[in-house]
Every structure is written in structure tokens, then in C-alpha cells.
Amino acid sequence: MEAFVNVLSFMVIIPLITALMDSGTNWKVARWLNIITCSYLLVSSFILWGYLPLTTGLDGEGVFSLDGLSYFALLFANILGLAFSIYLLKSEKLKFHVYFIMTMSFVNGALMTQNAIAFLIFWGLAGLMLYLFALSFKNAFGVAKKTLIISGISDSLLIFAFFLLGYSNTNLIGSSNGEFDPWKITALSFIALASFAKAGAFPLHTWIPEYCEKAPVESAFILPASLDKILGIYLLARLFLEHSVMPQNLRIVIAGIGAFTIIIAVMMALIQHNARKLLGYHAVSQVGYMVLGIATGNPVGIIGGLLHTVNHSIYKSGLFMAAGNVESSAGTVELAELGGMARRTPLTFSGMLVCSLSISGIPLTNGFVSKWLVYQGVLIAMAQSLYGYRILYALFLIMALFGSALTLASFMKLNYSIFLGKTTEKTKNTREASSAKLTALLINASLCLLIGIGWKFFPLPLIEKSLGMNFESSAGFLSATQLLGLIVLSFVFGAMIYFIFRKVRVDDAFVGGQKDTMKFRVSGTGFFNDIRNMKPLKAIYNGAEKGYFDVYAQLKAGIKAAVAPLKLLHTGELSFYSVWVVIGFLAFLLIFLRGG
């Protein structure tokens, strides 16, 4: 019973006990039980810092273990878990509280085990929670099925990969012995694809935008925006750390997938008119930075990818919280129907603005720090590679930088459409969300700034201990103090120029010589229509909207086409089926006689 009476097992068992208690009470009690449980999980996570590495077992078999990498992911998962439990304080749906605390249990279990079978169980159960959350909304049945199937694909890939690598109780994905035969490369590729499906990278990403648009907003920030990202990238990072001498060609392919994911998803985000779907595409795009950083294979790139994973989980869950606040107040997240909410919801606006700056990689935010490290990791990979590979890495770096610029453009559109400009019928009577929802949002926004400014104090020591390196001596180190000084000087000089040379007059807006009216309101949805209609982008966008590039949609269409002839044979007539029974019997008899 050793495995069931220690702090590691409690990180899994106590949330499950809480879920059982939640299901027997009402939402008013369940929310506080979840708050208490998430507080316990976070405190326990901090306590575990001084006991790494830590392993427990059952009858000699490894069950739960915690090393530096898994601890890094576990800590931030539980930091976010507490913020999520605060946001859910006003949720009146009991099933949300039950599903959420079960999700925390399964995520903790997956992060704390090196046992392949246990990992598969927790990994699969975490994917099942996506399906259950989506079933809460009637209009999300289709995306729930799609999500379940793609999650099942990732589970199947992992099973095949673990089988090919050989089952191990002590090391989740084995370790490198310097030999990479075709079967081993196939297994590692399957693990990478499984992590792509979970985190949402190309080509198994198409479920995320639909899920974020149609499923409950609570499930969007709990799983695809954060905890799924942590799980998927944790697995990919462990793959690269355990197989550090992975073939260069395979690393290049994975890095290329990361860079391609950045571009295709951010280009789709630019033309979205639904805030939640726009955020969903950015949840895909940002995975590209994580994959690209880890695929470089050097410490700076891997740390950048891991840090971007937790940074993304912080600001993207914050963005979905803000979108949820807007939706609960205005009743919609369609950008064409929104505008002018900044004065009525200043705290929601402030939280979304900080998170928007973070995802865009603006200095002094956490997003800038991790993106900077990813760029540095790519530059180091270029310097360590042959000429042909250098060209590819240079291309990947350009794509990453371009993607960051497009991300900023996209969030300028989002913030303008919701909070600036003129009010609409939907927004004229809006007000701030509940204090619980605002608290959770502002916690995330504050973390964006605290990590962006003070990352040398946290989480840098955690990263150094987790991966066993002195990061300050590595290439890519930046000084937040110097950066802050430069930005302050820029603002000072800008203010001096403004006050010295200002000639400002405030007046009403006029269109065609007449005062502006609501009829002439400039909507943010038209910002990038020109890009949408450019050749050849127009054809690509049309194809994407019709599902031509959706692996799930194409597989579904292919299966339907393959079974269509078989459907013709099912006429529903007994005599027709009798003929097929006789034919089958004769075929079996013929085979039996020939075998005899």
C-alpha cells in the first residue's frame, strides 16, 4: 500500500475524492470544496520542491515519480488550477465543478508517472474530460465527437509507440542508446504526433478552434488553452531530453511542423469574426513556438519551449476568461456586434490587454521572455548545423518572427472590436463580471507581468534546478532591468516630444460633412478583409473553411466514400441477405476442402 499513502498519490486521490463529494452536493458547496482541494494541491506542489527527485512504488513496480521536468509542469498546472477554481465560483453547473476537479486529478497523475500503462490511463482520461465538457452544450455535440476521435488517435499512437520501444516501468519513453533503427524512429514519430494531437499542432490541430468556439468557455481555458498544452509539450520535451542524440532530419521535420503551425494558424486567426474562435486559432499558433523551441534540441531552445508552454497557459486562459466575461455581459462574442466596452468593463479590458500584449511578445511580459529564448535557441541550432540545415532554421526563425507580428495585428483587431470604438445595442448596458471572475483574470494578467519582469527570480531558479544548468552563462540571457530602463526612456522621450510640440483639438467626428452616427461605425471585423481577398490567399482561405485541409474531415469523407458500395448491398430484404449467407457458406466450405 506504499504507493497509496504518500504525498504524490494524494495529488491524484484527493481530487477524485473531492469529485465524489461534489457529485453528492450542490454547486454552492462543490465550488468551495474545489477551492480547498486546489489550494492543497498548490501547497503540496511547493513542498515537493525540496524533495526532488522523488519516486514511489507498489510491490516493486514504479507508479508515481517526480523529477525536475515533471515538477516544473506539475507546479504550473496547479497554479492555474487554483485560478480556475476561483473563476468557477459563480458557475451554477454542478457538472463543471465535478469535471474540473477530475481533470486536475488526471493531469497530475499523467505528470507524475513514468509507468507507461499508468500514463496512458491518465492521458486518456484527461482527453475524455474534453468530451464530457463539450457534451454540456447541445450545439457542441459534433465537436465533442471530433475531439474524442482525435484524442483516441493520440492514445492509439502512444500505445503503438510504447509497444515499439518496449514497455518500461522506470522510464516512460526509454532512453537513447545512440542507435535509431526505422522502428525506433517510427515510435518516436508516433509520440511526437500524440503530443501534437494533445497540444494542438499541425496536422492534428483542427479540433481546437471549433472546440473553443462551441464548447463551454470554462472548458476552453481549462483544457485546450492550458492543461492540454502542458501535457502535450511535457511529453514532447521528455522525448527530446531522453533522446538528445535524435537524428537531425527528424528534428528538422518537427521544427518545420512547429514553424508551419505558427503561420497557418495565425493567418486563420486574422480573418475570424468570433472572439472565441480567434483565440482558438491562436491557441494552435502558439504551440508552434513550443514545438520549434524544443525541436532545436539545445538547452536554450528547450527551456524557451517549456517556458512558453506555461506562459501560454497563463495568458491564453486569461484571454478566454476575459472573453467569457464579455460573453456573459454582452451575450455574444461576435466582434461585429461588440464595441466600446472599455469604459463599462475597465478591469476586463485591462486584463485582456495585458494578456494580449503577452501573447504578442511585447517586452516586459512573459510572452516576450519565452519567445526571445525560442529565437535564441533557433540561432544556436543554426550555428551548430550544416549549411543546408542553417537555411531551414533561418526560414523557421523568419516564420516565427512574422507570426509574432501577425499575432499583434490580430489582437489589435480583437481589442479594438470589443473595447474601443462606439458602443452597440449589445454593449450599451454591459457591466463588469463577478468579482470571482475578475480576480481569476487579474491573477493571470499579474503573472504575465511578474514573470516578464522578474523571471530571473522566478521561474529561472526552478528551470535551472529542473534541467541542471546555469542558464545565466548561456546564450540568450537578457536583463529585464536594462530592458525596463530602455522602455521607460522611450516613454519619457515620447512624452517630451508630445508635450513640447503638441497641437491637439478634441472635436466630434464627421463623415461627409455630417456628424458621425452609429450607421457609420467602423467595425474591427473589416481590418483584414483585404488579406482575405488577396490572391492566392483567397483560394486557400476558401479551402480551409470548407475543410479541405482538415485531416479529420478528409478521413471522414474518405471512409464514407469507401463504405458507400457496401451500403448498396444492405437492401433490408431477407431474401437478399439469405443469398449472401449461402455464398459465404460456400466460400468457407471451399476453403475448408482445399485446406483438407
The pLDDT assigned to 175 comes to: 59
The pLDDT assigned to 497 comes to: 86
- Give the residues across from 56 on adjacent strands: 64
Q: Are 48 and 66 in contact (CB under 8 A)?
A: yes
pLDDT in tens, 425-445: 888 889 999 999 999 999 999
C-alpha cell at 460: 529561472
The pLDDT assigned to 3 comes to: 43
pLDDT in tens, 203-226: 889 999 999 999 999 999 999 999
Phi then psi dihedrals of residue 55, to 5 deg: -135, 140
571 — pLDDT class (breaks 50, 70, 90): low
Sorted by where each begins, the domain ranges of the chain are 1-163, 551-595
The C-alpha torsion from 12 through 14 and 16 to 21, rounded to 10°, is -170
The pLDDT assigned to 512 comes to: 65
Burial class of residue 271 (count of CB atoms within 10 Å of its CB; 0-12, 13-18, 19+): buried
Sequence-ordered alpha helix ranges (H) in 360-479: 366-383, 387-419, 435-454, 460-467
Q: What is the DSSP letter of 223?
A: I
CA distance 376 to 374: 5
For residue 171, pLDDT over 90 is answered with no
The pLDDT assigned to 2 comes to: 47
Report the pLDDT averaged over residues 343-365: 94
Burial class of residue 124 (count of CB atoms within 10 Å of its CB; 0-12, 13-18, 19+): middle
Smallest CA-to-CA distance from 107 within 136, 84, 137, 141 is with 84
581 — pLDDT class (breaks 50, 70, 90): confident
514 — pLDDT class (breaks 50, 70, 90): low
* pLDDT, mean over the chain: 86
pLDDT in tens, 381-427: 998 888 888 999 999 999 999 999 999 999 999 999 999 888 888 88
For residue 47, pLDDT over 60 is answered with yes
> Range with the lowest mean pLDDT among 154-158, 356-360, 464-468?
464-468
73 — pLDDT class (breaks 50, 70, 90): very high
Cβ contacts of 134 within 8 Å, gap of 6 or more: 140, 141, 143, 144, 147, 211, 214, 215, 216, 219
Report the pLDDT averaged over residues 184-193: 90
* SS3 assignment, position 384: coil
Phi then psi dihedrals of residue 477, to 5 deg: -70, 140
CA distance 379 to 256: 15
Measured in whole angstroms, how far is the alpha carbon of residue 287 from the centre of its chain?
6
4 — pLDDT class (breaks 50, 70, 90): very low
Smallest CA-to-CA distance from 84 within 199, 196, 230 is with 230
Smallest CA-to-CA distance from 79 within 112, 106, 111, 39 is with 39
Report the pLDDT averaged over residues 514-524: 66
Q: Which residue do the cell numbers 551548430 mark?
A: 384
The pLDDT assigned to 518 comes to: 60
pLDDT in tens, 312-329: 999 999 999 999 999 999
The pLDDT assigned to 320 comes to: 97
pLDDT in tens, 467-505: 776 655 455 555 656 777 777 888 888 888 888 877 777
The pLDDT assigned to 595 comes to: 60
54-58 and 61-66: which strand pairing?
A: antiparallel
Question: For residue 162, what are the CA distances in angstroms to 120, 171, 291, 490?
Answer: 10, 11, 21, 54
Report the pLDDT averaged over residues 532-556: 80
For residue 279, pLDDT over 60 is answered with yes
For residue 304, pLDDT over 60 is answered with yes
For residue 169, pLDDT over 70 is answered with no
CA distance 267 to 513: 37
CA distance 422 to 425: 10
